Amino acid sequence: MKRRRRRYAVRDQGASAFSSILARLCEATGALAAVLVDGDGETVDYASLVDPFDMKLAGAEWEIVLSLLKQSRAAQLRETHEVWVRAVRRSFAAVALPEGYALVVVMPRRAFIVSRRALMEASLQICLEAGLPPVAGTENEALRWARVRVKTSRRNARRPVSLWHGDNWCRLTLLGRYLNLDRRELGFRARLTSGAEFALVREPLGYWYAGDL
């Protein structure tokens, strides 16, 4: 499937090592923007298809929300790591990262489903790049997901036959199907010729994710 190239807004600050991670997150989720902010609400970096100033402002505001929750008297609120809000004009997902950092995703109007696999991948990559400890909660996830390139059968576009891994296309053997997924997702238990087995899932936007590969 040929994808239309997304046009990002003209940047008002230099790109950093986080730029590609945030752009990849936008592509995988259909987001308008992804913003990484520090504990003072200052933008570390961003990827945005719309006015960067507005997206930076949104990032700062949601960092304040996460900070206020951590200061709450209610223990359950203090342990909040994510906030998801569906609003009239935009929808938002704010993820708390270690040491006061936050990842904020801005979605179009009426959109509210953000790929948790894409969020997990971006959060882990940001922490690795910044030298931060793993994001709270991700160590206990059943699988760690990473977006991968997959070739499918010419006769059946929903059947994967090979995967780009280790600078090569590797042939796949499908061992079975996962049935406990979202109805719009497609999942397999797959094996490489090396013998490595892993979960392989195709999300509604057409991107494939491998678990613990």
- The dihedral through the CA atoms of 168, 169, 174, 180 has a sign that is positive
Query: Which pairing describes strands 43-48 and 160-164: parallel, antiparallel, or unpaired?
Result: unpaired
Is residue 48 very low, low, confident or very high in pLDDT (cuts 50, 70, 90)?
very high
Is residue 10 very low, low, confident or very high in pLDDT (cuts 50, 70, 90)?
confident
Task: Look at 17 and 88; give whichever has higher pLDDT.
Answer: 17
Over the chain, what is the mean pLDDT?
88
One-letter amino acid identity for 59? G
pLDDT score recorded for residue 73: 83
- d(CA 156, CA 166) in angstroms, rounded, equals 25
- d(CA 165, CA 169) in angstroms, rounded, equals 6
- d(CA 93, CA 105) in angstroms, rounded, equals 5
- d(CA 129, CA 150) in angstroms, rounded, equals 26
- d(CA 98, CA 85) in angstroms, rounded, equals 21
pLDDT score recorded for residue 203: 92
Query: Which pairing describes strands 208-211 and 145-148: parallel, antiparallel, or unpaired?
Result: antiparallel
Task: Look at 76 and 149; give whichever has higher pLDDT.
Answer: 149
The burial class, CB within 10 Å (0-12 / 13-18 / 19+), for 149 is exposed
pLDDT score recorded for residue 9: 84
pLDDT score recorded for residue 81: 86
pLDDT tens-digit map of 101-154: 999 999 988 777 788 899 999 999 999 999 988 775 544 455 688 999 999 999
Q: Which of 14-28, 80-94, 156-170 has the lowest mean pLDDT?
A: 80-94
Which residues contact residue 76 at a Cβ distance below 8 angstroms, ignoring those fewer than 6 apart? none
pLDDT score recorded for residue 141: 52
- d(CA 34, CA 169) in angstroms, rounded, equals 31
Span 23-31, mean pLDDT?
93
Other beta carbons within 10 angstroms of residue 109's beta carbon come to 11
pTM of the prediction? Answer: 0.83
Is residue 197 very low, low, confident or very high in pLDDT (cuts 50, 70, 90)?
very high
